[in-house]
Amino acid sequence: MNFDGFDDELWDEHKWEAHLDEVERKSDQLRRFISSDPKGNIPRWITLLQESQDEDDAFEAYVEEELLLDEAYFPEEEDDWDDEDDYDDEDFLFGAQDEFDELEEMDDFDSGEEWKALSEDFASSDYGSLDNLLIFNRSRELAVDVLKWAESVDEKYQTKSFQEFVGETLKIGAKLAGGYSFGFEPEYIGANIAYTKKALKCSNLALALLQAQRSEEYFNASDYGDFHERIFELRNDVGVYVQELRDRFYNRMD
């Protein structure tokens, strides 16, 4: 598949990263234009918490909104998604399309431990589900727990650093989902890498923001230690995932 307006050259992570930087800039402008808070005084995650049933819904709404805003600035594909009626981006990302004819014929994989053991490897393919990608699930669990904690913090303590910490934590999962949506084919794995690198950057920012607030009274030792350990480990695993994606890209180039 080729996007109109893209040349025939195979884009690496650096070309995709430059393109995504411009997409993010335009997405931010669009977000401010359509928002009831155009000056951005209220973090989007706060509004989504107010509009959602629970923290899980708020996180999924955040991810879907981020992807839709970015998608608005990608050129239409030449074939205009001929199979559009049979394909749904949201269902693909969040695991509603996990059944395939080939798998239905494989009785050994209908259920049970063998299928579960292979699910993570299967997730890293163009036929998998984001819900089976372990690193995304961990980012989602972290984001949901941070949202639950943030709701318990008195508004008088919700400084800019506090708000940015929560926001960067949510962005980790959103960027992983953005990369996963491009898949693993040579034409698009560069975009997957570029998005995942942005998830790594968000992890580093979240960790730095957390460490800067260590002495704040709204953090107890237990919450701080838990978040620090999980973000630190997630950051390292996202870095490993970036390298794994790079290996796949360059192995296919050989």
Q: For residues 45-61, b (16+ Cβ closer than 10 Å) or e, as one string?
A: bbbbbeebeebeebbbb
**pLDDT attached to residue 76:** 59
Place of tokens 């008195």: 154
The dihedral over CA atoms of 162, 26, 237, 222, expressed in degrees to the nearest 10, equals: 10
Q: What single letter denotes the amino acid at residue 174? A: A
Long-range CB pairs of 143-149, under 8 A, 24+ apart, other chains included? 143/59, 143/62, 143/169, 143/170, 143/172, 143/173, 144/55, 144/56, 144/59, 145/226, 145/227, 146/170, 146/227, 147/45, 147/49, 147/55, 147/58, 147/59, 148/55, 149/223, 149/227
User: For residues 66 and 120, what is the distance between their CA atoms, to the nearest angstrom?
Assistant: 24
Three-class SS of residue 3? strand
Closest CA relative to residue 69, chosen from 103, 114, 120, 34: 34
Fold of 13-75+89-96+133-253: de novo design (two linked rop proteins) (1.20.1440)
**pLDDT attached to residue 80:** 42
pLDDT in tens, the chain (254 residues): 344 445 557 788 888 888 888 877 877 777 776 666 656 678 889 999 999 999 999 999 999 999 888 786 676 554 443 444 444 444 445 554 444 444 444 444 444 444 443 445 545 555 578 989 999 999 999 999 999 999 999 999 999 999 999 999 999 999 999 999 999 988 889 999 999 999 999 999 999 999 999 999 999 999 999 999 999 999 999 999 999 999 988 776 65
User: For residues 73 and 143, what is the distance between their CA atoms, to the nearest angstrom?
Assistant: 26
